[in-house]
Amino acid sequence: MYKGFRSESFTAWAFMAPGLLFLAVFTFWPIIYGVPLSLTDYSVIAETNYVGLDNFTRAFQDHNFLISLWNSLVYVLIVPVIQIISILMAILVNSRIPGVKMFRAAYYIPVVTSMVAVALIWSWLLGNNGVVNYLLLKAGMISEQVSWLSTSSTALYVLMFITMWKGLGYYMMLYLAGLQGIPADLYEAARVDGAGPLRLIVHVTLPLLRPHILFCTLISVMGAIRVFDEVYILTKGGPGTSTLTSSVYIFQKGLEQFNFGYASALGLIVSVMVGALSVLVFRLNRKGGVNSY
């Protein structure tokens, strides 16, 4: 018995070895190596020195970094909006009517397209003489053209909108899966008790979607703080620092200016923040619970 257990254990590790090796190098190592790196001024060009906690003290006096943290936090505001819209979308595409699968696919297409293409399309649509301005002017919702992406007061919100637009389909699918797991007789029972559509949603759908809401909130919070591609392609953090999010700033410091040490310190600070936010989301949803995910 004991021997059998040991050999099973050996086989298990043998199976996992290649995968764990890759994870060790490309998933665990960056987390571990980020710590010593953040205590140096490693920059490829000059000699590397141990600088203690200098990078961290510098970070908290770095005006641009603080702005980038703030912008990242503002970005998190899209999380509840995404949840509400995608739950409504999921309810809509859960209707049993002909052709509904076609709509599901249509809503999912932004998810599978590359961010480069999505960013390009929206940058044109949002241009000064672009379609969005044209339509809004026609509808009388704005009185003059707005340079959506090059105005400090709108740029960040426009980026948030694009992130939301691209992600809605993904969350819709996750919620749809949740909806399809709800037994139909629960709705029947509530209907017999005289509940209308709105009460059905509030008292049956939402409570039963709780684990899905927790999961989706969690991944969209992380996604919002790590947001990079759309910001980098469309505004590179500008105009000024109005869309400078933490990932973009870390990328600039690290892979554009080659301040690896400083960038690692910034990365660590952001990681701790994301960890704390995740814990917070868990606390807020204590009754939910994610099953091994």
List the interface residues with another protein, window 45-84 (CB under 8 A). Answer: none
- For residues 93 and 104, give the distance between their C-alpha atoms in angstroms, rounded to a whole number: 6
Which residue from 65, 78, 250, 252 is in contact with another protein, where contact means CB under 8 A? 250
Question: For another protein, which stretch binds (CB under 8 A), given 25-33, 51-59, 153-161, 235-243?
Answer: 25-33
Q: Considering only residues 55, 71, 246, 252, which one is a binding residue for another protein as defined by CB under 8 A?
A: 246
Rank residues 156 and 250 by Cβ distance to another protein and give the closer one: 250
The answer to whether 228 touches 76, Cβ cutoff 8 Å, is no
Among 169, 231, 235, 252, binds another protein (CB under 8 A): 169
The backbone torsions φ and ψ at residue 40, rounded to the nearest 5 degrees and listed phi first, read: -125, 175
The answer to whether residue 181 forms part of the interface with another protein (CB under 8 A) is: yes
> Rounded to 5 degrees, what are φ and ψ at 50?
-80, 125
Which member of 73, 200, 201, 274 binds another protein (CB under 8 A)?
274
For the bound state, the minimum distance from the C-beta of residue 266 to another protein, rounded and expressed in Å, comes to 7
Q: What is the DSSP secondary-structure string of 50-92?
A: B-TTHHHHHHHH-HHHHHHHHHHHHHTTHHHHHHHHHHHHHHH
Among 52, 51, 37, smallest CA distance to 250 is for 37
Question: What's the one-letter identity of residue 105?
Answer: A
Tokens of 151: 């105005």
Q: Which is nearer to another protein, 79 or 268 (CB)?
A: 268
Is there binding between residue 237 and another protein (CB under 8 A)?
no
Does 194 sit near another protein (CB under 8 A)? no
List the one residue from 67, 158, 244, 266 that touches another protein (CB under 8 A): 266
Cα dihedral 147/152/158/160 (nearest 10): 170
> Which residues, listed in sequence order, are joined to residue 50 by a DSSP beta bridge?
40
> Interface residues for another protein in 200-219 (CB under 8 A)?
208, 211-212, 215
Q: In whole angstroms, how close is the CB of 250 to another protein at the nearest point?
A: 5
Return the half-sphere exposure (C-beta side, CA atoms, 13 A cut-off) of residue 142: 12
149, 235 contact by CB (below 8 A): yes
Q: Which of 30, 52, 80, 240 binds another protein (CB under 8 A)?
A: 30
Q: With contacts defined by CB under 8 A, name the span among 20-28, 56-64, 76-84, 186-194 that binds another protein.
A: 20-28
- Interface with another protein in residues 121-150 (CB under 8 A): 121-122, 124-125, 127-131, 134
Angle at the Cα of 213 from the Cα atoms of 207 and 216, rounded to 5 degrees: 170
Region binding another protein by CB under 8 A among candidate stretches 61-69, 109-117, 147-155, 184-192? 109-117
